[in-house]
C-alpha cells in the first residue's frame, strides 16, 4: 500500500462491504464443452463465468451477422426501402432468395439476415448502409475497434470463408459484441423472433421465415441467438438466456454439439450464480475524507453474478486522487478514483467514482421572491 502514497493518490478503506466479480477470475466450473473455443459471459457486468481458449482467433461463419445487424439497426434506415442489386442476388451460400430489382424494407432484410442467415440479405444491407460492401466492411471494423474487439477482423458482412484467413474473431470478442448489441431494444426483438412474415414485392403471397436457432424452441430460458456454419469454420453459435434476473451469453466456435453445450452452460450458471445488487447509482456514503465526503458518486448501478462462497470474506478499498493542501481544487479529475473489491488476495472488480461539487445557493433579490410568489399562486392542471 505504501507505493500509493508516493503518487498523488490516497488509499481509503471503505466501511461497507461490496460484492463484485472480475472477468478473468473464473470459478472452477464442473462443466465442459465440445467446442474448440467457448465462453459464458454475464450480459450485465461482462463477467466471464466459463472460458475455453476464449482469445483464440478463429473463423466465425454466420455469427458475423450480429455485427451486420446492429450496424443496420443503428443506421437509422430501418424503415427505408432497399432495391436489390444483382450483386446481392448472386451471393453464394444460405439465402432468403431475393430477386433482382425487388424492393424490400431494410428492417425485413435484417429479419431475413438473422432468422434465415441470408447471405444475399447481408450484401443488400451492406450496400444500403455502407454504400458498398467495402464501405460496410470498413464500418464493421471501425465498430469492432470501438468496442475493444482487439482480435477481430471482418472482410465481409456474412462470414463466408475467403481464400485466406482474413475474416476472423474470438469467442471473447463475439461475446463483447453480443453484450453491446443486446442493449438495443430492436436488436433484442429481432434476436428472439421465432417466425417473421413479410410481403413480397410484386407477389400476392408473403415470405415466412422460421428462426434457425433451435434453442428458441427447445430451451425455456432462451432469449435469442445466431447460428453459423461453413466447411472451414464448422458449427458456430451465439445464444442468450435469462432466468431470475441473470442474463447470460454463450459463444461457441467449432462445436459439433453446440445446442447441448449451450444448454449445459446456461443450466450450470443458473444453478451456481445469483444476481446481486452491489452499488446503486448515486452518492457513495461512509467516506472518511473530508474533501470527498458527500461529493463522491457512482454514475451507474453495479449488479453482478456471484456464488454463495464469493459473498464471504470480501474487502473493499477506494483509491482516490489526493486533493491539494491549503488551496482550492477547481477541477477535480474525472473520474476522481475507483472502488476496488478483493477476495483471496485477488482483485475482483473496479468501479469508477466521480466528484460532484454541491451547487451553491443562489442569492435571491426582491423581484426573484416576487416572481416565485406569483408562480406558486397559480394553479396548473397537468391533465389539460
Q: For residue range 280-334, what is the model confidence (pLDDT) as tens digits?
A: 888 888 888 878 888 888 888 888 888 888 877 777 778 888 877 766 667 778 8
On whether the CB atoms of residues 40 and 48 are closer than 8 A, the answer is yes
Task: Estimate to the nearest angstrom the gap between the alpha carbon of 151 and the chain centroid.
Answer: 17
pTM for this entry: 0.82
> Within 62-132, where are the H helices?
65-74, 86-89, 106-115, 119-130
Distance CA(4)–CA(8), nearest Å, equals 8
Cα-based distances in Å from 147 to 36, 128, 171, 188, 373: 24, 23, 14, 18, 52
Cross-strand partners of 225? 239
Question: How confident is the model at residue 222, as a pLDDT?
Answer: 98
Q: What are phi and psi of 236, to 5 degrees?
A: -125, 150
Nearest to 244 by CA among 209, 217, 226, 271: 271
- Residues with Cβ within 8 Å of 274's Cβ and at least 6 positions away in sequence, in order, are 244, 246, 305, 306, 307, 308
Radius of gyration in angstroms for the set of CA atoms belonging to the chain, rounded to a whole number: 26
User: What are 191's three cell numbers?
Assistant: 434476436
On whether the CB atoms of residues 85 and 124 are closer than 8 A, the answer is yes
Nearest to 63 by CA among 186, 247, 213: 213
Question: How confident is the model at residue 329, as a pLDDT?
Answer: 67
User: What are 250's three cell numbers?
Assistant: 454463450
- Residues with Cβ within 8 Å of 362's Cβ and at least 6 positions away in sequence, in order, are none
Active site residues: 62, 65, 117
Q: Cα 277–283–287 angle (5° rounding)? A: 100
User: What are 373's three cell numbers?
Assistant: 410568489
On whether the CB atoms of residues 269 and 221 are closer than 8 A, the answer is no
Question: How confident is the model at residue 365, as a pLDDT?
Answer: 56
**Cis ω for the linkage preceding 3 (within 30 of 0):** no
State pLDDT tens for residues 222-239: 999 999 999 999 999 999
Q: Indicate the domain borders of the chain.
A: 2-18+277-355, 37-272
- Which fold is adopted by the domain 2-18+277-355? Spermidine Synthase; Chain: A, domain 2 (2.30.140)
Question: How confident is the model at residue 198, as a pLDDT?
Answer: 93
- Which fold is adopted by the domain 37-272? Beta-lactamase (3.40.710)
On whether the CB atoms of residues 245 and 221 are closer than 8 A, the answer is no
3 state SS of 355: strand
Question: How confident is the model at residue 172, as a pLDDT?
Answer: 98
On whether the CB atoms of residues 71 and 140 are closer than 8 A, the answer is yes
The full length of the chain comes to 384
Question: How confident is the model at residue 357, as a pLDDT?
Answer: 65
Q: Could you say which residues of the chain have pLDDT below 50?
A: 1-25, 360-362, 370-371, 373-384
- Which conformational region is residue 91 in: left (phi greater than 0), alpha (psi within -120 to 50 degrees), or beta? beta
Question: How confident is the model at residue 308, as a pLDDT?
Answer: 83
Nearest to 229 by CA among 93, 91, 97, 90: 93
Distance CA(259)–CA(134), nearest Å, equals 34
Amino acid at each position: 500500500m505504501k507505493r500509493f502514497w508516493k503518487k498523488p493518490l490516497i488509499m481509503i478503506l471503505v466501511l461497507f462491504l461490496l460484492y463484485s466479480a472480475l472477468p478473468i477470475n473464473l470459478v472452477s466450473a464442473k462443466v465442459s464443452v465440445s467446442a474448440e473455443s467457448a465462453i459464458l459471459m454475464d450480459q450485465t457486468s461482462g463477467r466471464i463465468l466459463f472460458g475455453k481458449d476464449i482469445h483464440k482467433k478463429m473463423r466465425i461463419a454466420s455469427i458475423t451477422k450480429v455485427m451486420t445487424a446492429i450496424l443496420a439497426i443503428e443506421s437509422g434506415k430501418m424503415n427505408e426501402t432497399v432495391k436489390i442489386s444483382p450483386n446481392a442476388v448472386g451471393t453464394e451460400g444460405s439465402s432468403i432468395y431475393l430477386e433482382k430489382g425487388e424492393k424490400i424494407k431494410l428492417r425485413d432484410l435484417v429479419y431475413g439476415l438473422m432468422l434465415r442467415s441470408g447471405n444475399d440479405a447481408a450484401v443488400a444491407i451492406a450496400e444500403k448502409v455502407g454504400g458498398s460492401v467495402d464501405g460496410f466492411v470498413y464500418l464493421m471494423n471501425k465498430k469492432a475497434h470501438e468496442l475493444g474487439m482487439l482480435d477481430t477482423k471482418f472482410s465481409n458482412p456474412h462470414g463466408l470463408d475467403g481464400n485466406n484467413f482474413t475474416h476472423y474473431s474470438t469467442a471473447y470478442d463475439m461475446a463483447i459484441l453480443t453484450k453491446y448489441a443486446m442493449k438495443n431494444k430492436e436488436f433484442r426483438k429481432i434476436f428472439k423472433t421465432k417466425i417473421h412474415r413479410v410481403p413480397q414485392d410484386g407477389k400476392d403471397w408473403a415470405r415466412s421465415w422460421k428462426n434457425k436457432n433451435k434453442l428458441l424452441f427447445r430451451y425455456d430460458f432462451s432469449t435469442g441467438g445466431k447460428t453459423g456454419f461453413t466447411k472451414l469454420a464448422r458449427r458456430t453459435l451465439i445464444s442468450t438466456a435469462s432466468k431470475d434476473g441473470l442474463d447470460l451469453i454463450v459463444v461457441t466456435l467449432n462445436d459439433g454439439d453446440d445446442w447441448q453445450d449451450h444448454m449445459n452452460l446456461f443450466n450450470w450458471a443458473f444453478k451456481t450464480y445469483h444476481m446481486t445488487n452491489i452499488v446503486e447509482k448515486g452518492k457513495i456514503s461512509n467516506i472518511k475524507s473530508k474533501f470527498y465526503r458527500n461529493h463522491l458518486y457512482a454514475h451507474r448501478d453495479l449488479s453482478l453474478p456471484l456464488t454463495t462462497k464469493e459473498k464471504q470474506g470480501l474487502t473493499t478499498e477506494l483509491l482516490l486522487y489526493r486533493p491539494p493542501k491549503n488551496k482550492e481544487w477547481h477541477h477535480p479529475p474525472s473520474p476522481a478514483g475507483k472502488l476496488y473489491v478483493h477476495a483471496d488476495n485477488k482483485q475482483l472488480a473496479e468501479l469508477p467514482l466521480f466528484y460532484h461539487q454541491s451547487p451553491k445557493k443562489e442569492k435571491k433579490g426582491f423581484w426573484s421572491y416576487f416572481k416565485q410568489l406569483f408562480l406558486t399562486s397559480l394553479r396548473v392542471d397537468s391533465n389539460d
